[in-house]
């Protein structure tokens, strides 16, 4: 997570740093991405970078979380007013939104590189990020979690659906699968989960 000084920066400068990071991580996989290029594009001093972030990994995890949250907010706005009566209906809409995200020019390369360079060393941090996002989603679905037992089951199902989504999006990117094939596999496997 960024250091406190990052949050004290003017919004324009914070956004410039994040835009530079999106640009660099879109052009290069994590291990090949250059802090020097991010610094140059963002027009900040090298020393300043380390006042804002511990290292490249710290920036990367934060950036991925911010992009996920931005996309979740866009999804929430897109489905505002829709009444989902089941977790499956909600997640079907979310899966379609995520699949379409791979066609968004701004994030396509970033997500392709994210899926390509995802490795075990990131899994702990990414699990924490996705767990928090999952909790945020559950709070938006109170009708599905009226009791503690329902909440626990819904959380487990949502976690499995997230893992399925991740695996299918990775396979789409790495194997260059078409959307129809990915959607068909999603529907078949999601029907087992809920």
pLDDT digits over 70-122, tens only?
888 888 888 878 877 788 888 898 899 888 888 877 777 887 787 776 655 56
Neighbours of 104 (CB within 10 A): 12
pLDDT digits over 6-63, tens only?
999 999 999 999 999 999 999 988 889 999 999 999 999 999 999 999 999 999 989 9
Q: How confident is the model at residue 143 (pLDDT cuts 50, 70, 90)?
A: low
Using the structure block, give the residue that is written with the tokens 């209906």: 89
The CA radius of gyration of the chain, in Å to the nearest whole number, is 18
Residue 124 has pLDDT above 60, yes or no: yes
Calpha distance 109→114 (Å, rounded): 8
Residue 4 has pLDDT above 90, yes or no: yes
């Amino acid at each position: 997570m960024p250091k406190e000084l990052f949050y004290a920066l003017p919004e324009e400068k914070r956004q410039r740093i994040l835009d530079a990071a999106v640009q660099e991580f879109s052009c290069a996989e994590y291990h090949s991405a250059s802090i020097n290029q991010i610094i140059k594009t963002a027009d900040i001093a090298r020393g300043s970078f380390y006042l804002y972030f511990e290292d490249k990994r710290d920036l990367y995890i934060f950036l991925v979380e911010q992009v996920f949250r931005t996309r979740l907010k866009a999804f929430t706005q897109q489905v505002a007013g829709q009444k989902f009566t089941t977790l499956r209906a909600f997640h079907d809409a979310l899966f379609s939104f995520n699949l379409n995200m791979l066609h968004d020019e701004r994030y396509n390369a970033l997500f392709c590189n994210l899926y390509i360079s995802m490795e075990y060393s990131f899994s702990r941090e990414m699990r924490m990020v996705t767990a928090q996002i999952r909790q945020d989603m559950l709070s938006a679905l109170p009708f599905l979690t009226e009791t503690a037992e329902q909440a626990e089951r819904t959380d487990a199902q949502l976690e499995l659906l997230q893992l399925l989504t991740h695996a299918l999006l990775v396979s789409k990117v790495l194997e260059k699968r078409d959307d129809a094939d990915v959607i068909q596999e999603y529907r078949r496997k999601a029907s087992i989960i809920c």
